[in-house]
Amino acid sequence: MVTQIRNLYHPIQPTVKASAENVTYVEFLPDIRLQPYIYCYWQLKTTQPLPEPFNYRVVTDSCIDIILDLNNPEENYVMGFFKKFSEFPLTTSFSYIGIRFLPTMFPQFFKVKASELSNQIEHLSSIVPHLSDFISNRFNEKKSAEEVRIILDNHLLALYAKAQFNADNRLYAGIEIILKNNGSVEVQKDLNTGISPRQLRRLFEFYIGDTAKTFSKVVRFQKFLNAQPSMQSLTKKKLFFEAGYYDQSHFIKDFKDFYGITPGKAFENTPENCPNRLFFT
């Protein structure tokens, strides 16, 4: 059941679009053996120095990411589950690489309680020192995306071979219910997986980083993003109903919390049937 998460959940980071001048964002797949656990590797970089610092907004996606700058690989971090959007002021030149773990997978690989990372970014050296050392010693600004992929695949496959996964079917049954219902669930009633609400909360906090209720809200928000909304579709259709929201005011509030701006602002320049993301190479 652990391996089903990838089939049911597709977290999107849409805030850097193809029109972002001199900044590119791409996602690329890890080795197929890692794909049930790692959603993607990603790269956010400048194609030439910018005239001013770049402000990068990260929308809520319920994943835990490892982040490093190829220009300074000793600076590597882990970003936990954020229940609201985050903004990061970057310099005028950067080349960031990320490893986006699917929900529950970072704690499985590294035996770290996800809630200890929630709503914060920590130096990887204080969380997984051996991985931080590996990144510091193996990466530099000359590495291509393909070289990065190969190095990460080989090292993470070695870590995966040693990892002991706690595939608690009660936890993953609850996660599957949430994902199959696109986050539109009543936690007390719908997540009847054979354990008490207190036990379920403890499992979600350890492996996800927050409660089942918060995770469900993020899943519902991500479901809306996966519908690839545009300004025209927002005007013509009540997409928030299809995504499981009961009224527009709650939808707009959740969207602003998770994205950082209103949906109208987010998609004002997105034409109909035009994807708002760059994806796998």
Instruction: Quick: pLDDT tens for 125-134.
Output: 999 999 999 9
pLDDT tens, residue by residue, 257-268: 999 998 888 877
Q: Give the residue with greater pLDDT, 1 vs 78.
A: 78
3-class DSSP string for 74-139 = EEEEEECCCCCCEEEEECCCCEEEEEEECCCHHHHHHCCCHHHCCCCEEEHHHCCHHHHHHHHHHC
* Domain shared by 125 and 262, yes or no: no
pLDDT tens, residue by residue, 125-164: 999 999 999 999 999 999 999 999 999 999 999 999 998 8
Domain boundary among the residues 109, 128, 162 is at 162
The answer to the question of residue 116 being in a domain is yes
* Domain shared by 9 and 126, yes or no: yes
pLDDT range class, residue 248, cuts 50, 70, 90: confident
- Provide the percentage of residues in the chain whose pLDDT is more than 90: 69
The answer to the question of residue 79 being in a domain is yes
Task: Assess whether pLDDT exceeds 70 at residue 269.
Answer: no
* Domain shared by 219 and 236, yes or no: yes
> How far is the CA of 50 from the CAs of 21, 46, 91, 92, 152, in angstroms?
9, 7, 8, 5, 29
* pLDDT value at residue 221: 94
* Domain shared by 153 and 173, yes or no: no
| Cα–Cα dist 11/15, whole Å | 13
Q: Give the residue with greater pLDDT, 18 vs 106.
A: 106
The answer to the question of residue 227 being in a domain is yes
* pLDDT value at residue 188: 81
* pLDDT value at residue 273: 41
* Domain shared by 211 and 87, yes or no: no
The answer to the question of residue 122 being in a domain is yes
* Domain shared by 137 and 245, yes or no: no
The CATH code of the domain that includes 176 is 1.10.10.60
* pLDDT value at residue 278: 36
The token pair at 249 is 């005011």
The answer to the question of residue 273 being in a domain is no
Task: Assess whether pLDDT exceeds 80 at residue 230.
Answer: no
Q: How many domains does the chain have?
A: 2
* pLDDT value at residue 31: 98
* Domain shared by 95 and 175, yes or no: no
* Domain shared by 130 and 54, yes or no: yes
Task: Assess whether pLDDT exceeds 80 at residue 24.
Answer: yes
Question: How do 86-90 and 54-58 pair as beta strands?
Answer: antiparallel
* Domain shared by 149 and 24, yes or no: yes
Q: Give the residue with greater pLDDT, 195 vs 253.
A: 253
pTM of the entire predicted model: 0.90
The answer to the question of residue 278 being in a domain is no
Task: Assess whether pLDDT exceeds 80 at residue 280.
Answer: no
* Domain shared by 183 and 57, yes or no: no
Task: Assess whether pLDDT exceeds 70 at residue 18.
Answer: no
Domain boundary among the residues 145, 162, 179 is at 162
- Provide the percentage of residues in the chain whose pLDDT is more than 70: 89
The answer to the question of residue 281 being in a domain is no
The token pair at 86 is 């985050």
* Domain shared by 198 and 232, yes or no: yes
* Domain shared by 43 and 153, yes or no: yes
* pLDDT value at residue 279: 34
> Domain of 193?
169-266
Mean pLDDT, all residues of the chain = 88
Domain boundary among the residues 162, 187, 204 is at 162
Lowest mean pLDDT, pick from 95-99, 175-179, 193-197, 200-204: 193-197
* pLDDT value at residue 197: 86
For 67, how many CA atoms within 13 A lie in the half-sphere containing its CB?
18
pLDDT range class, residue 229, cuts 50, 70, 90: low
* pLDDT value at residue 275: 42
The answer to the question of residue 275 being in a domain is no
